Structure 1
């Protein structure tokens, strides 16, 4: 396997559109790195530049220490799995798995050995004689993965490989890909717009927006300490609650003066570094699981009207309204008041996130 390194990589199209701006990061040997962001953020363009399917306008791309800016895709020793399975309908599973090796002139015995190994790894041994039309969506995706596996490349590139599957199959294939990565110890770069896929699969995640890298870190570090409002809202389902107001302070601690009332914040750990923000507008962030009905541990800090409880089995999402502002609370199963009732809500001061009102950068 090999490392993949990008140094100030940029992609500008002939019409002047900047798809990727100054991207710099390294995918470690054997690491599974996920590129995540909304449609049009540049993640697939980045992947295609690594594959050699898009030219690089500026910067340096290296694989295994070798600069590959001008190297043809077939010479980069990478294997790519696309969103559509791209299987040959007239070939059976075994032929689809081995076709790339056949084109490269590998001996027949070696092709058969590698095909058997990949089929065994992916649970396709009983389907080697079947054609793609006879396979389920999950089996077709396994064949597409197997076609990359038999190559034994330095780097695997996966471009939204699960987006065509239903929810149950996506979950099963996420587990499958994670298992394959552990078994192979392979270097993988995985593109997705699904933040659940990103959080569950990635050892590290690159979050992109508008062609610009917003933050690179481990899944839980991104969740616990988002660098800006975009990352805070993009990662997490339901999304982080945001309240805009003027930061105030007195002997009893900090408070946020909003258009709908004053919210006491207590003494957050960041209080010392928030001194320069007193009297200034900022944005307060609070994850749904940290906004709870008030109790002895979480004294009441704001009131909101319950609009719709959403029981989903092991938890309940409370859709709330604080003035015109929509909030969401994630609570364990419990008896709830009727929709339309007012709820007193509390939170622990150490669970608060603070962001600049202009620009959205994290404070403290």
Structure 2
């Protein structure tokens, strides 16, 4: 395995559209790094540049210690797993697994050994004589992974490999990929638009938006210390609540919303220089809680929708024109259409520049 290094890698199309604007980061040897962001953010373009399927407009890309900007995809010693599986329908599982090795001229005994090892690792032993049409979605995805695995490349590139699977299969395949990474100690770059996949799989995450890197860090560091409003609201399910208004210290610290509503921020420690100025206050759904009767620092919001999901309850609230979503214990089932007293965990709040979105 090998590290992958990007230094100011850009992709600009002939019409002037900047798909990737100066990406710089390093994927350590044996690391599983996730590229995440909404559709059109440049994550798949970035992966395709690493693979050699897209040309690099400027910057330097290294795999191992070799600059590969002008190296053909087949000579980069990488293996790619595509969203569409890309299996040959007329070939059996064994033939699909072996095909890449045959093209590279490996002898039959070496091919048979590698195919058997990959099949055992991915529990495909009983499926080797089947063709893709006779496989489930999860089995096809394992074959696609196995075809990359037999190559024993310097790096694995995975482009939204689970997006065609149902929710249950996605969960089991996430576990499978994480287990495979631990077992192989492989260098992996994984692209997804699903922030749950990113948080559960990535040792580090690169968050992209509109072709630009917003932040690079470990999953929990991104969740607890987002660099800006985009990262704060993109990671987390349900998304972070954002209160836009003026920070006030009159009658206790609070944020005064545009419609005149007031949310007390007892226990919060915002930058003192921002008192009296427009600010964005971020609060995670789990940091809103039902207030005790007569509790200081509570406010009332109307209950709009209650979503019990078994282990927890999501409560959609409205304070004036401000929507809020809270995550409560399963024993809390407020009545729809009625006011509810809510308290904020002030010490867990996030503060952002209302104009630029940068964390304060």
Count of paired positions: 359
Query: Within 5 A, what are the aligned runs for 1:174-193?
Result: 174-193=174-193
Other-structure match for 1:318: 315
1:331 aligns with 2:295: no
Q: In structure 2, what is the Cα distance between the partners aligned to 1:204 and 1:125?
A: 33
Deviates more, 1:10-19 or 1:326-335: 326-335
**2:249 is paired with a residue of what secondary structure?**
strand
Q: In structure 1, what is the Cα distance between the partners aligned to 2:237 and 2:260?
A: 25
Q: 1:299 to 1:116 in 2, by over 3 A?
A: farther
Asked if structure 2 preserves the Cα contact closer than 8 Å seen for 1:6 and 1:26, the reply is yes
Asked if structure 2 preserves the Cα contact closer than 8 Å seen for 1:244 and 1:284, the reply is yes
**2:15 is paired with a residue of what secondary structure?**
coil
Other-structure match for 1:349: 346
Query: Within 5 A, what are the aligned runs for 1:352-363?
Result: 352-363=349-360
1:235 aligns with 2:235: yes
Give, in angstroms, the shift of residue 98 of structure 1.
0.4
Query: Within 5 A, what are the aligned runs for 1:55-134?
Result: 55-134=55-134
Other-structure match for 1:5: 5
Q: In structure 2, what is the Cα distance between the partners aligned to 1:119 and 1:241?
A: 46
Q: In structure 2, what is the Cα distance between the partners aligned to 1:37 and 1:8?
A: 19
Give, in angstroms, the shift of residue 263 of structure 1.
2.2
Give, in angstroms, the shift of residue 347 of structure 1.
1.7
Other-structure match for 1:257: 256
Asked if structure 1 preserves the Cα contact closer than 8 Å seen for 2:3 and 2:63, the reply is yes
Alpha-carbon RMSD across the aligned residues, in angstroms, is 1.3
**1:266 is paired with a residue of what secondary structure?**
coil
Q: In structure 1, what is the Cα distance between the partners aligned to 2:224 and 2:294?
A: 21
Asked if structure 1 preserves the Cα contact closer than 8 Å seen for 2:266 and 2:344, the reply is no
- Unaligned 5+ residue runs, structure 2? none
CA deviations 1:158-208 (Å, max 9, x no partner) are 000000011111001000000000000000000000000000000000000
Give, in angstroms, the shift of residue 58 of structure 1.
0.7
Give, in angstroms, the shift of residue 253 of structure 1.
4.8
Q: In structure 1, what is the Cα distance between the partners aligned to 2:352 and 2:39?
A: 25
Query: Within 5 A, what are the aligned runs for 1:264-279?
Result: 264-268=264-268, 270-271=269-270, 274-279=271-276
- TM-score between both structures, scaled by the size of structure 1: 0.96
CA deviations 1:18-63 (Å, max 9, x no partner) are 0000100000100000000000000000000000111100111001
Give, in angstroms, the shift of residue 276 of structure 1.
1.2
- TM-score between both structures, scaled by the size of structure 2: 0.97
Q: In structure 1, what is the Cα distance between the partners aligned to 2:116 and 2:104?
A: 18
**2:183 is paired with a residue of what secondary structure?**
helix
Query: Within 5 A, what are the aligned runs for 1:107-256?
Result: 107-250=107-250, 253-256=252-255
Other-structure match for 1:48: 48
Give, in angstroms, the shift of residue 220 of structure 1.
0.5
CA deviations 1:51-92 (Å, max 9, x no partner) are 011110011100112111111111110000000011111110
Q: In structure 1, what is the Cα distance between the partners aligned to 2:301 and 2:289?
A: 11
